[in-house]
Structure 1
Amino acid sequence: MKKILVIDDEPGLREMVHAVLTRRGFAVIEAPDGREGVALARQQQPDLILCDINMQHMNGYLTLAALREDPATAAIPFILMTGYADPAGMRYGMELGADDYLPKPFTPEQLHAAVEARLRKAQQIREAAERKLADLRDSISLALPHELRTPLNGILAYGELLSSEAASLQPEEVAEMGQVIAESGRRLMRLVENFLIYAQLELLGTDTERAAALRQKRTEQAHLIVETRAREVANQFGRLEDLRLELQPGVVPMAEEYVARMVEELVGNAFKFSKKGTEVTVRLESTAQGCWLRVKDQGCGMTAEQLSRIGAYVQFNRKVREQQGLGLGLTICRRLAEVHGGALTVESEPGVGTTVSVQWPTSEAATHSQPL
């Protein structure tokens, strides 16, 4: 049974709302003012709150603000009731976090319709959040054990062979084992580095001083960094002949190490999700509005639904397509762009390919931008 909290200083209206909703199968609790309403909401955790605006001691706006500031009650659907539904007041209520307005006087049918609509919307939001959580849990459970064990297995297995069979191994065999150990170590290091970078970028949202200091960094010869890193990644995939570079000199308002990381992630994804023999284009261009980096492939592409779900620890079709990493790469690039006042966009079509574009603003705009 859904629980509804009614906050109103008019006993007659509370009685009417109580009678209508009770007949509809709801459990109703009442509060005569905002102070008691806030206390009841925290204690009872209702499924929805109906609250009058004009009340003594604590009006509806203050009641709403208090509830939205408390994590325990912030997500409870909230409907403001008023006989003076002026546009300015409605806008102010929505800015505070109201979900709907119910103008007085209202009929029992209008009351019930408003309550049902808000509860239905809240249920949809909960179900969507639960689906995302389930997808995230599945992604982590699939990716994390594999990503940790695969490089560790290579390191441990060949390390044990080298220590126990060193006398019988040929030099070329030792070299081959050493190469596998080195590659496994690099893969594990990349995994740890991505996790640490992601954690640091998330913390920047609450550290304005560090974010401002980060935006002071510049990469003057960005085209040289992009070219070097893009060629290195292409070489790792054995696809130098598939790489096409279209680079203009430009200044990127980002530290060199982050520019390099962004190129590694975007170009690596382009090669990872496209076939050998298909072109991967890396373009860097400068305009009066800022600097652009675009990476375009002719790979498998993504659906609109997959594009909407891009995020940390999210990978697509991992059960049917071998992948490396935790799905952090694209999210790291997006957060790097945002922290530096820019933006990252993705355009993709299944079977056609994907284009990832990063735009940095001019140096002055980046300096005065705010962290997200």
Structure 2
Amino acid sequence: MNKNKILLVDDELNIRETITELLLYKEYDVKTASNGQEALAILEYWSPDLIICDIMMPVMDGVMLHEIVKENQFLTAIPFVFLTAKKEDNLMKKCLLDGADYFISKPFKISELTGVIEAKIDRFEKIKNAYANLYIGKKNYFLHEINTPLNGILGSVDLLIEYKDLLAKNEIETFYNSIKLSGERLNRTMQNLILYQNLKSNSNEFCDDSSSEVLDVFLLVKEFFFKIYEGQEKRIVFDIDKANLKISQKHLQFILFELMDNALKFSSDKKIIIISGQQYNTECYELVIRDFGIGFSAEELKKIGAAQQFNREEREQQGLGLGLFLSKIIIKRTKGDFNIVSRENEGTTIKIILPLETFKI
């Protein structure tokens, strides 16, 4: 049975240790942070069922952390409970208006704390079960991403059946290819949704024993790309050193596909993308994916998240806006690092640091 997960954020060591000991006794899975900045670093690779947070802390206080969490679609539904002192009543009212779930005043009784925790986690579980789907927003991009390839498949099949005695061999081949591409697009959409839900519920396995050879995986992805982007082989320029990385082949394939696909989609047909890979230090490997396309504004970069798309109508992009977001989450959960630098109308550079596999003698 999976344990419920709680993130405890407080700058007072004694309080952290006391509450942690209690929560562990109650068989919760607990992680702690001494300020909001440390908490955000944890939230990049770990999704709790409840956040318990002090208000007044150095570096980043609880109010700022709460604002960031509530703006993040991946985190916004997680119950957020504040620990407060009596002198913080005005802040408490503000946070309630901003969507905080509950307040516990210091000093507090153990029964009060455990009661609140059980109630909030129980409600969160019901919400997750009732709304296990990804909310895409007011516009029906989700339906579009399902219906478009599905109509492509059904339409091609109908034509093959109706004109089976009139179609030439090359025309039949064209319909088969269309069905295959539409099926792959639909499958990709559904797999991304499944991956999103698994990551959100922490049910995805990230085994420390997983490994893959980066150049081999890249070549597999590149070969698949040429079937989608016909006649554009010369757009991908690469120089990747061989290395074994501590990440599964499935996850590395996903990351490379999504980031290369974004780079090509957001660049004109005349623009190349450059992919390089080399050992960063004795423990890590660096992958760099650079395009010279439309880029992101500084404001757009701050908003990158699940189902986040920018000017979809103008840019005619496909997909649900999950690829970049999911890639970042996977990289963080495999103990890697993700960095993106972009300028509008100049292009985007994504740098990925992944751990090298170490061989034991």
TM range (shorter): 0.5 to 0.7
d(CA) in 2 for partners of 1:180, 1:163: 15
Q: 2:326 aligns with which of 303, 312, 332?
A: 332
- Contact residue 230 and residue 263 of structure 1 kept, 8 A: no
String of CA shifts for 1:265-312, please: whole Å, max 9, x gaps. Answer: 111110000111212011111122301111110111111221122122
Q: Does 1:153 align with 2:151?
A: yes
Q: 2:164 aligns with which of 161, 166, 175?
A: 166
Q: Does 1:261 align with 2:254?
A: yes
Question: Shift of residue 121 of structure 1?
Answer: 5.0
Where does structure 2 lack aligned partners over 5 or more consecutive residues?
1-17, 29-49, 66-80, 101-133
More helix by share: 1
Question: Shift of residue 341 of structure 1?
Answer: 1.1
For residue 224 of structure 1, what is the aligned residue in structure 2?
216
String of CA shifts for 1:72-110, please: whole Å, max 9, x gaps. Answer: xx8899879xxxxxx9xx99xx9x9435672xxxxxxxx
Q: 1:98 aligns with which of 83, 101, 118?
A: 83
Question: Shift of residue 119 of structure 1?
Answer: 3.0
- Contact residue 231 and residue 240 of structure 1 kept, 8 A: no
Question: Shift of residue 258 of structure 1?
Answer: 1.8
- Are the structure 2 counterparts of residues 200 and 299 from structure 1 closer, same or farther at C-alpha, using a change threshold of 3 Å? same
Aligned-pair identity in percent equals 25
- Contact residue 136 and residue 142 of structure 2 kept, 8 A: no
The one-letter code matched in structure 1 to 2:235 is D
String of CA shifts for 1:183-228, please: whole Å, max 9, x gaps. Answer: 111111111122222223333x367xx43xx221111x31122134
After superposing the two structures, state which structure 1 stretch, 337-346 or 145-154, moved more: 337-346
The one-letter code matched in structure 2 to 1:98 is L
Q: Does 1:273 align with 2:271?
A: no
- Are the structure 2 counterparts of residues 350 and 123 from structure 1 closer, same or farther at C-alpha, using a change threshold of 3 Å? farther
For residue 342 of structure 1, what is the aligned residue in structure 2?
336
For residue 291 of structure 1, what is the aligned residue in structure 2?
285
After superposing the two structures, state which structure 1 stretch, 115-124 or 233-242, moved more: 115-124
Look up the SS of the partner of 1:141 in the other structure: coil
Pairwise CA RMSD:
3.5
For residue 241 of structure 1, what is the aligned residue in structure 2?
234
Question: Shift of residue 231 of structure 1?
Answer: 4.8
TM-score by length of 2: 0.63
Q: Does 1:119 align with 2:93?
A: yes
Larger Rg: 1
d(CA) in 2 for partners of 1:140, 1:265: 24
Question: Shift of residue 159 of structure 1?
Answer: 0.8
Look up the SS of the partner of 1:295 in the other structure: strand
The alignment covers a number of residue pairs equal to: 261
- Contact residue 251 and residue 291 of structure 1 kept, 8 A: no
d(CA) in 2 for partners of 1:156, 1:189: 15
- Are the structure 2 counterparts of residues 293 and 276 from structure 1 closer, same or farther at C-alpha, using a change threshold of 3 Å? same
- Contact residue 270 and residue 299 of structure 1 kept, 8 A: yes
Q: 2:196 aligns with which of 188, 193, 198?
A: 198
String of CA shifts for 1:150-205, please: whole Å, max 9, x gaps. Answer: 111111112112112212222222222222111111111111122222223333x3
- Contact residue 231 and residue 243 of structure 1 kept, 8 A: no
For residue 309 of structure 2, what is the aligned residue in structure 1?
315
The one-letter code matched in structure 2 to 1:119 is K
